[in-house]
Amino acid sequence: MLLRCNGRMPRRRNAAGRTIGCPDPDHIALPMPDTLATADELGMRLALDQALNAQLAGEVPVGAVILQHTAQGPQVLATGYNRPITTHDPTAHAEIVALRHAAQLLQNYRLPDCTLYVTLEPCAMCAMALLHARLKRVVFAAADPKTGAAGSVLDLFADPRLNHHTTLVGGVLAEPAAALLRQFFAERRAQQRIERAERVEHVERVERGEHVERADRGALRAAAPPSPDQATIPVGETTEWHAPASPDPQHREPQ
Ligand SMILES: [Zn+2]
């Protein structure tokens, strides 16, 4: 169970003798998990919540959260969700958004005591940013066979020519993360089919010489195929998702 602090939960010991609560009203204190696997699932559930925020904003549903390891246990330091479309920013992937918030909060461009959880395998841009930040661990859920840079298309975390300070874990809660992506793309395809049918219907009406009302002409323009620079999924972003070869969590220490 997650315990939200909100400044009204002073640090105290719970029934199990663990210290919970947090003096910082912006932090969410997590009960100390019994195992690392449990901790990773707790972190990934928070990232999945962020992915839902992306979905609500009409973005590809990918979410991230950064937990800082403190003497009181892991604390939520920053969150982020995918929003390149809404912010007109091709770098606004969930990991980058969360990284920027965390670095600003700590006033440090390196985050060695932190773990980042993200619901989709990082792309090359995000993987390099995570390596630059010297994160302690990176945990992702679903693999991305099209742009994944943590083992799918390439593996920047394992390249011996780069500095390695980051432990990589993949496949944690992969199925719920993948289900969210599958649902998103299925809805997109259904919407595209509707728009295609509307375009055909309007063209047929024009060809038959039917009078097209002003409102209908507006609908016709709205249903016109988007130009390449109006694509709703940014270039380089995942456009589909397929099941990873191995859904089991994969742990790998830095080399
Ligand atoms: Zn990325």
Task: Provide the residue type at 187 as one letter.
Answer: E
Determine the Cα–Cα distance for residues 193 and 196; give it in Å rounded to an integer: 5
Asked whether the beta carbons of 136 and 167 are under 8 A apart, the reply is yes
pLDDT on residue 57: 95
Higher-confidence position of 201 and 94: 94
Asked whether the beta carbons of 148 and 122 are under 8 A apart, the reply is yes
pLDDT on residue 3: 37
Q: How far is the CA of 85 from the centre of ligand 1 (A)?
A: 14
Residue 74 is inside which H or E element, if any? strand 73-81
Q: Kindly tell me the burial class for residue 241, based on how many C-beta atoms sit within 10 Å of its own C-beta (0-12, 13-18, 19 or more).
A: buried
Q: How far is the CA of 44 from the centre of ligand 1 (A)?
A: 17
Q: How far is the CA of 39 from the centre of ligand 1 (A)?
A: 23
Higher-confidence position of 201 and 85: 85
Tokens of 52: 């839902």
Q: How far is the CA of 110 from the centre of ligand 1 (A)?
A: 18
In sequence order, the 6+-apart residues with CB closer than 8 A to the CB of 225 are 199
Higher-confidence position of 215 and 202: 202
Average pLDDT over residues 157-183: 92
Determine the Cα–Cα distance for residues 220 and 166; give it in Å rounded to an integer: 51
Strand 19-20 relative to strand 73-81: parallel, antiparallel, unpaired?
Answer: unpaired
Least confident window among 10-14, 91-95, 198-202: 10-14
242 phi and psi, to 5 degrees?
Answer: -125, 155
Q: How far is the CA of 28 from the centre of ligand 1 (A)?
A: 25
Higher-confidence position of 35 and 216: 35
Asked if 95 is an active-site residue, the reply is: yes
Average pLDDT over residues 97-120: 97
Tokens of 71: 């003497």
pLDDT on residue 80: 98
pLDDT band at 11 (very low <50, low <70, confident <90, very high): very low
Tokens of 42: 């707790």
Q: Is the pLDDT of residue 5 over 80?
A: no
pLDDT on residue 73: 87
pLDDT on residue 10: 42
Q: Is the pLDDT of residue 182 over 60?
A: yes
Least confident window among 31-40, 47-56, 85-94, 243-252: 243-252
In sequence order, the 6+-apart residues with CB closer than 8 A to the CB of 28 are 2, 3, 4, 5, 22, 75, 76
Average pLDDT over residues 169-197: 93
CA angle (123, 35, 14) in 5-degree steps: 120
Sheet holding 250-252: strands in order across? 3-4, 28-29, 73-81, 63-70, 114-120, 137-142, 167-170, 250-252
pLDDT on residue 207: 84
Which of 41, 59, 95, 240 is catalytic? The answer is: 95
pLDDT on residue 199: 87
pLDDT on residue 248: 57
Q: How far is the CA of 152 from the centre of ligand 1 (A)?
A: 13
Output the average pLDDT for the chain: 80
Q: How far is the CA of 147 from the centre of ligand 1 (A)?
A: 8
C-alpha distances (whole Å) from 113 to each of 58, 80, 244 are 33, 18, 29
